[in-house]
Each structure stands twice: as structure tokens, then as C-alpha cells.
Amino acid sequence: MTAGEEPPQAVRAVLEPAEIARALSRIAHEVLEHNKGAENLVLLGIPTRGVTLAHRLAARLAAIEGAHVPVGTLDVTMHRDDLRRQAFRTIAATELPDGGVDDKVVVLVDDVLYSGRTIRAALDALSEFGRPRAVRLAVLVDRGHRELPIRADHVGKNLPTSARERVRVRLSEIDGGEDVVSIVGGVTK
């Protein structure tokens, strides 16, 4: 290692493609059970990977229930409370399904739940577009370390981590290659 160079970090895969698929199937069943079917459901993915997960979840809901569940995207960038601390974020388009969100059961879909700040921003952003009957949260990974009183209704995997570690989700549609969830952190020798 040369001066100024970051030490290599350990990368440990914790969910492989089959486990991710099973987690999404389990979440789909939970959503349908909790909602007593697919009626009035709307999935809103939080960019970037939450959108892909929302589309996968909608496909599973259709396979199980035989019903089309609308999918949209909800950009939260301008509602974040950390804009001053972070580098500029690219603003993604918010695209609501036909019929909007009024009196619907909206399931927010994201890849990793950490501090809860992204979800708080999503709730603020959602309030600009209507008044859902209920809002639920589905995440692939809940890693703990909440800073706000927010919890997921549907979780693919609870993954205890240290604050120094990062959870990295890679999805084939966005990142190329295989689906994988890894923990990145700790110094290798």
C-alpha cells in the first residue's frame, strides 16, 4: 500500500440471487396477506434500486394473485435533510401510475433501510402527490441504526451491521452481472 492509499476493505456476500428472489417472494406474500389481496395497491420505488425492486415485486404479485399492481417512482432528493452535507444528487423523475395515490395503499419500496432519513423524505415527497389511505414500507435489507422512528412493514432480510460497514446491493438490471447483497467494511490484511 502506498502513502495516501485507502486500505482494502473486506467484502462479504450475504444474499445471493436465489436468496434475493426468495426474499422478494416472501415480501410479495406478506403484502398480499396484509392487504387482503392486490386491490388498491400501488408500488412506488425509491430510485435507484428501489424502482427495480418495485418492478420485481409487482411481477411476483401478478404471478401470485393474477392482478396487475401499478408501479411508479418517487424521487426524494429535494426532500432530504442532508442536501447541504452531501454532494449534489441527480434528481430522478417522479412518475405516479395512472390513478395516482389518493385513497390507495401505497407500498414504498427501497433496497436498504438504515437511518430512516430517506423514508422520511419519501413521506414528505408523497404528501405532494395526494393522500393515500395507507403507506407501508418494503425493503430488501434492514440494517438497523435508525435515527428516526421509522420501521419497515415488510423486510427481506434483517442484517445487523456496524456503523462503519456499508451494505451494497447490486441488481443485474442496473449494475450488470448477478444480483448480490454484500457487506463492505473492515480492513483486510
Q: Which CATH number do you get for residue 152? A: 3.40.50.2020
Domain count for the chain? 1
What whole-number distance in Å separates Cα of residue 141 and Cα of residue 90?
23
What is the grid cell recorded at 165?
A: 460497514
Q: Is 40 helix (H, G, I), strand (E, B) or coil?
A: coil
What is the grid cell recorded at 189?
A: 490484511
Find out whether 119 and 110 touch, Cβ atoms under 8 Å.
yes
- In tens, the pLDDT along 168-185 reads 999 999 999 999 999 998
Asked, for residue 75, whether it belongs to a domain, the answer is: yes
Q: How confident is the model at residue 189 (pLDDT cuts 50, 70, 90)?
A: very low
Beta strands 9-15 and 180-187 are antiparallel
Tell me the pLDDT of the chain averaged across its residues.
Answer: 92
Could you tell me the residue range of the domain that residue 136 belongs to?
19-162
pLDDT at 188 over 60: no
pTM of the entire predicted model:
0.91
Asked, for residue 175, whether it belongs to a domain, the answer is: no
Asked, for residue 78, whether it belongs to a domain, the answer is: yes
Mean pLDDT of 109-116: 97
pLDDT at 131 over 80: yes
